[in-house]
Chains A and B, each alone.
Chain A
């Protein structure tokens, strides 16, 4: 993983972007951006005017030098706009490439139908081919395990150093190219064509060709084109007005007025903002399949979150032993521990751990297990445990499962145990009842541990106007307790995969946008239905195909970050549009008096900035107009910071900074440039 906090302008990226700035002058590329395209037309006209003056000097049009400088500044405006787009592309590409590099050109051992193994370069692997990987080898490409189980180091992609287990079948079957097998041997089937992995798609998205405008971007482009047209009208009609008023206006002044008034700032930065949004997602280790997905994320109203791993830490933990009446607490602890020693589930392990804390030595109990028969948990019995060599049956399980055992054996189920189990459940815990030879011995309390800081995150989401929904397999009582404790707004208890789907549909029917995260194949329909579906990279191929984003970190809280990136993207567009349009006020006051002052001296009163001369005023305005673009590139790339302070407060803040700022800054900027230009004129 490359360091995330790299500077905005790395030398090699800048070099590439500079080259691209010239390539992008091609009108066939330029016409996609109507605002800058008109600037290009103006620049071409200026070029001809300047060349014409060389041949045939005309005092009415100003000196050759002046016209040439105006031409140069316009050209610079174009180059700056191109540079903004190019540097955003370069950064996005560099980020994606650095991820891709990890997986390129690793030898793969391909197995053909006859079982022969041959070595092939990873870049030549075709979809559907099979290969084997063993401990110590790098997985050549994305695929799905069809045979075997392995521990895999995914730190190259996720930065997480703890190895993960992947096995054939189920939800943990997918492997990512570039990760390393630490143990065992697996057979993997290739799931993507070369050049079609998510990363490849992402790179294509960042590059111009595949990049489609998002709906918001289209609407904004229409608005900007509208603004441009208004100023076309303003400038074209000014010609007869000027003739009527006997105030001839030089071509350079017309073009300068036009270029300054049209929203070149946002027009020049628009595509850079969009690319930077995807790039920021990538930096958060989220691969987006379209720019639209990032934008939609900013609009999300409802967030479905799995309880486990998102809201609570991993799994439930044993927190208390509650012996039944007449049972010694120590006896209960020993029984529960014995039944859990071979239990690999996190719950089982946590019982052993709690026993150790209460001074029961699990090592000693190990001896009881000799010759014992292990009873695995099944959905039918809903209990597990051991049957010792001496025939003692120790079971632990859900309250009603053990009640059944006891009733069958004509053993009482003490009232106190029932009460305790209910008390535990109503506290958000899970009661595990322990029995010995069907006699009820007591209750083990399992509790969920809520992640520290999660309440604050939900609070932040609430302020953004996003409703959080916890999805859990727990019973409604437990779910409610955890929901309240963690501060989620709603929960789906005893959730089956189709419940998620139903929930998403209902919310969508009421006009809301829903985001969810999932990893299993049975999540795929819901991921596809959700407006933003983030699949975990560890998830199945089906899940990854269904979602519109893939999270390389497998971090369930990532959704929150994605939402903020989406909001930042829209905000950056909105604020820079406001800034760009607000700039017009000052530009009018710089250029309009400059146009008429000579012929109509009384209009000199409009020259409130006291600019040196008409020519210096026009030059200052176009220069300001040009350099504001690169000056705002860092903002466009980083995005405007999102603060969840409520929409109205946010608008007020942004209006003050970018609206009022947009009115004031150019007054100062143009005046300063004019002082500087005045020195040379």
Chain B
């Protein structure tokens, strides 16, 4: 038991220990200061020259957004083209067929938005070419998009008045060359040495101990899994994701993958502090996020380690915890830690089946995605947090008798409007999506019987989880859901698109508007944003707006299930 908990502490400690120096390094990279990877500068210059980009051209916040949306559109077209024709393209040793257009659409969107909701199984659904040039490629660039957008905000929050906020392509390319590519290389090597395949050869035939002959899927797995975690993407090479023994062979790889996915979201917080030279602000943000994270983690670990009372009643020993749907090589605590890190952070990879978790653990997983700002995804976690921060600054500012200001910039009606829309969007998409599905299902339970594996409270949780996961761009599934139907494909697809780009556009716009404003010098009457008191304020805003809005829905799902179980 204690060893399990120690494992969890080691994973968090490792991530934090690596995130601090990485944060400082990232701040240097994006400020253009001297850093350890400056020897890569010629490579970057080559990329810019090749693509005809002037990386020194300063952009306004609108130009940043245009650049961001344009390249995203290009990738989408590229991904669609490859997925629809992969059957006839090279690098397809297993002769997997081309995707149908609707599934290709869903897959392209899903990986473009860093969500990685998968309505296919990698073993049979994708060729190696698709795995490399669509899936792995999008996993790199979608993570870099989020990081670049966050850096625009870093730049905008400096104490000066300007509308020039650096060059988007510069941020974007450097996120790749200085962070994602080198980081993935290291992780992929560790994985490969622990047994994760890295080959372009097709299926391997073998005879098991039982004497059955099976064909084991292989492929360029290690490379893909590395960026899957590091870029908080979450979409697995295999259908079973990191529960698959080749995707996540042992406890060591589990630690590496888990640390990898928490690394960048943590490092970005500290990068903000180093970039703006406001370390206390970074610690405040880290503190708020960590309190929220631990509040979700603690009950999950508790309930998973204490087993399922209903199964205990059947006479099955629950001393090792609730192990249904979990891998023995990871155990209850590490699986609980994995599930919460993957839901607070919009990674969404799984090493155990969330459907089988205890009801309150499922609640915590959903709350992690509903708040979506306790660390959050690569770069975008900070963007979400920023919207909450603006609302907290506004109320707190009034409470100390001054027109609210954040880092010397006044928060006025326009910023408020955007922040409100961004924070409103999330509950709207989740609740409206679930409501429509519930309405359809309740209207004709027999026709839609295939949608839900379990009726009742658990079925409700399944629907709620699916839309929460889509809206949080998380990508993990509660499973037990027949999700490869037109309704699920279309509805979650729409949710995916809206919930990716609006929460990027909104915060970048707020930051851009703030950057243009005059800097108000700090005085004794200014509310400092880097204190514990203000941290409490931000946390309260997140809890009351983001979490409480879901209380009635959660009551009908996991809470009702919990109380009927205990």
Instruction: Spell out A's residues near B (CB within 8 Å).
Output: 215-216, 218-220, 222-223, 225-227, 229-231, 233-234, 236-245, 247, 257, 295, 298-299, 301, 462-467, 510-512, 566-568, 570-571, 573-575, 577-578, 581-582, 584-585, 588, 592-593, 595-596, 600, 602-603, 605-606, 642, 646-648, 650-652, 654-655, 658-659
Contacts and interface: CB of A to CB of B under 8 A. Distances in A.
B396 interface: yes
Given A299-B402, A464-B525, A240 B436 contact: yes
A244 B442 contact: yes
Nearest to B423: A226
B216 interface: no
B413 interface: yes
B528 A237 contact: no
A241 B553 contact: yes
Contacts of A567: 401-402
B559 interface: yes
A42 B436 CA distance: 23
Contacts of A299: 402-403
B7 to A, nearest CB: 33
Given A226-B424, A243-B442, A648-B531, A218 B396 contact: no
B416 interface: yes
Contact of B399 (A236, A295, A510, A574): A574
Interface in B530-566: 531, 533-534, 536-537, 540, 544-545, 548-549, 551-553, 555-556, 559-560, 563-564
Contacts of A574: 395-401
Given A595-B552, A646-B524, A571 B391 contact: no
Interface in B378-405: 391, 394-403
A238 to B, nearest CB: 5
Interface stretch (B100-108, B367-375, B425-433): B425-433
A592 B402 contact: no
A566 B552 CA distance: 40
B520 to A, nearest CB: 4
Q: Which of B397, B401, B415, B441 has the most CB of A within 10 A?
A: B401
A245 B452 CA distance: 14
B526 A465 contact: yes
B379 to A, nearest CB: 25
Given A567-B401, A571-B401, A237 B434 contact: yes
Main secondary structure of the interface of B (DSSP, over half): helix
Nearest to B432: A237
A29 to B, nearest CB: 22
Contact of A647 (B402, B519, B559): B402
B560 A602 contact: yes
Contacts of A605: 563
Contacts of A223: 391, 394-395, 416, 420
Given A222-B417, A577-B398, A578-B395, A234 B533 contact: no
B556 A512 contact: no
B527 interface: yes
Given A219-B411, A651-B537, A585 B523 contact: no
Contact of B548 (A240, A588, A647): A588
Nearest to A652: B533
B553 A465 contact: no
Contacts of A298: 401-403
A655 B391 contact: no
Contacts of A511: 408, 518-521
B431 A650 contact: no
B431 A233 contact: yes
B441 A647 contact: no
Contact of B545 (A216, A230, A592): A230
A646 B428 CA distance: 39
Given A231-B549, A237-B432, A574-B399, 11 more contacts: A226-B423, A230-B427, A236-B435, A240-B435, A244-B439, A298-B402, A512-B520, A574-B396, A602-B563, A603-B559, A655-B537
A227 to B, nearest CB: 8
Given A223-B420, A467-B523, A655-B533, A568 B563 contact: no
A220 B527 CA distance: 18
A234 B427 contact: yes
**A interface SS class:** helix
B355 to A, nearest CB: 18
14 contacts: A219-B412, A223-B394, A241-B438, A241-B556, A243-B442, A244-B441, A298-B403, A301-B525, A462-B524, A511-B518, A584-B544, A596-B556, A600-B564, A602-B564
A241 B563 contact: no
Contact of A510 (B417, B431, B521): B521
Nearest to A296: B403
B525 A465 contact: yes
B519 A219 contact: no
A512 B405 CA distance: 13
Nearest to A221: B413
A212 to B, nearest CB: 13
B155 to A, nearest CB: 19
Contacts of B423: 226, 230
B427 A233 contact: yes
8 nearest interchain CB pairs? A574-B398, A465-B525, A567-B401, A465-B523, A226-B420, A574-B399, A465-B524, A237-B435
A219 B431 contact: no
Contacts of B395: 223, 574, 577-578
A584 B436 contact: no
Given A465-B523, A466-B523, A588-B551, A244 B438 contact: yes
A219 B394 contact: yes
Nearest to B530: A648
A463 B417 CA distance: 32
A593 B552 CA distance: 9
B143 to A, nearest CB: 30
A567 B420 CA distance: 25
- Residue from B519, B534, B560 with most neighbouring chain A CB atoms (10 Å): B560
Contact of B413 (A218, A466, A582, A647): A218
B338 interface: no
Nearest to A230: B549
A231 to B, nearest CB: 8
Most buried by B among A466, A511, A581: A511
Interface string B227-255: 00000000000000000000000000000
B460 interface: yes
A466 B525 contact: yes
Contact of A648 (B411, B434, B533): B533
A462 B524 CA distance: 7
B521 A571 contact: no
B398 A220 contact: yes
Contacts of A642: 401
A562 to B, nearest CB: 13
A240 B553 CA distance: 10
A659 B423 CA distance: 21
A241 B460 contact: yes
Nearest to B561: A602
Given A233-B431, A301-B521, A511-B520, A603 B399 contact: no
Given A238-B552, A241-B435, A603-B563, A570 B521 contact: no
Contacts of A244: 438-439, 441-442, 460, 556
Contact of A301 (B396, B431, B438, B523): B523
Nearest to B463: A244
Query: Quick one: which of A230, A466, A467, A650 has the most chain B CB within 10 A?
Result: A230
A628 to B, nearest CB: 17
Contact of B551 (A219, A592, A654, A655): A592
Contact of B432 (A233, A243, A247, A646): A233
B439 A243 contact: yes
A245 B460 contact: yes
A236 B431 CA distance: 9
B185 to A, nearest CB: 44
Contact of A570 (B401, B417, B434, B520): B401
B438 A243 contact: yes
A257 B555 CA distance: 14
